[in-house]
């Protein structure tokens, strides 16, 4: 893959918790290398404890790898990159004392988006996830699925090139999880400007550590657009 097409490059990444001589030592990742193209959707699928969340946290700059390196759009990841990477967690992480609009707006405040742009971007993101009738509602007044929609709206409003999702629908019931998964597919199709929304197709990758029993947990890495070209290219 040529450098201009690479959104994320992972080279020899390994991570351990604790020292090798300690009883609680855990080798979470071992020698992982991967290139993710601009506009590509990657799903990390594997057994519980195989290092999916650890790898996402490394990609997002939340923790530093024990060995190896990660580059995002040619820049080495050495900490959070709020202008390049947005993160949606399993728990919605909304501030309960803020409305949906205020929660979405706050992410842009932390990112440094000018005040004049924030309202329009927040409105677009809230409408994109179907919460246009609930911008002034507080998290406690929303269902679990609606709170996750609000968290997704906050991430989308940042308009970053990379969107990381750590099993964002895992805490929801089966029916709500399926509905939100379908809605996310449609949203990504719209981002790509497809004439007809289609189900998202993800390429699976398994982190370099084996486990015994599979689970249904999945983490997603989405390169949503090419910042050099300035146009959307979400993978479907």
Q: What are the pLDDT digits (tens) for 119-161?
A: 999 999 998 888 999 999 999 999 988 998 899 899 989 988 8
Cβ atoms < 10 Å from Cβ of 124: 15
Q: Which of 43-47, 63-67, 120-124, 159-163 has the weakest average pLDDT?
A: 43-47
Find, among 207, 212, 187, the residue nearest to 56 by Cα.
207
Q: Contact, 148 vs 209, CB < 8 A?
A: no
Say if strands 203-205 and 218-223 run parallel, antiparallel, or are unpaired.
unpaired
Alpha helices (H) in 46-163, listed in sequence order: 52-59, 100-111, 115-128, 144-157
Q: Contact, 139 vs 118, CB < 8 A?
A: no
pLDDT at 121: 92
Is the CA virtual torsion 146, 182, 224, 124 positive or negative?
Answer: negative
**Cα(18)–Cα(26) distance, integer angstroms:** 7
pLDDT at 154: 93
- Distance from the Cα of residue 224 to its chain's centroid: 10
Most confident of 40-44, 137-141, 143-147, 215-219: 137-141
Find, among 139, 97, 102, the residue nearest to 122 by Cα.
102
| Predicted structure pTM score | 0.74
Q: Which domains, and CATH codes, for the chain?
A: 1-79+200-226 (3.40.50.300)
**For 165-180, what is the mean pLDDT?**
75
> What is the SS3 assignment for 117?
helix
What percent of the chain shows pLDDT beyond 90?
Answer: 29
Across the chain, mean pLDDT equals: 77
């Amino acid at each position: 893959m040529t450098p201009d097409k690479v959104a994320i490059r992972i080279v020899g990444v390994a991570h351990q918790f604790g020292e090798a001589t300690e009883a609680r030592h855990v080798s979470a990742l071992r020698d992982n290398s991967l290139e993710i193209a601009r506009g590509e959707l990657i799903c990390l699928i594997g057994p519980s404890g195989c290092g999916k969340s650890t790898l996402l946290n490394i990609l997002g700059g939340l923790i530093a790898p024990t060995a190896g390196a990660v580059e995002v759009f040619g820049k080495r990841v050495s900490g959070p990159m709020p202008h390049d990477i947005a993160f949606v967690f399993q728990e919605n992480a909304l501030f309960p004392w803020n409305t949906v609009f205020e929660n979405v707006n706050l992410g842009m405040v932390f990112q440094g988006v000018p005040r004049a742009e924030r309202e329009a971007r927040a409105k677009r993101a809230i409408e994109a996830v179907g919460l246009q009738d609930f911008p002034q509602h507080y998290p406690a007044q929303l269902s679990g699925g609606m709170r996750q929609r609000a968290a997704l709206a906050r991430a989308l409003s940042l308009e970053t090139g990379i969107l990381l999702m750590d099993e964002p629908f895992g805490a929801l019931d089966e029916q709500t999880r399926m509905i939100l998964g379908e809605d996310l597919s449609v949203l990504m199709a719209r981002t790509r400007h497809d004439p007809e929304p289609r189900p998202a197709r993800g390429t699976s990758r398994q982190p370099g550590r084996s486990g015994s029993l599979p689970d249904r947990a999945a983490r997603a890495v989405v390169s949503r657009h090419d910042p050099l070209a300035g146009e959307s290219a979400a993978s479907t």
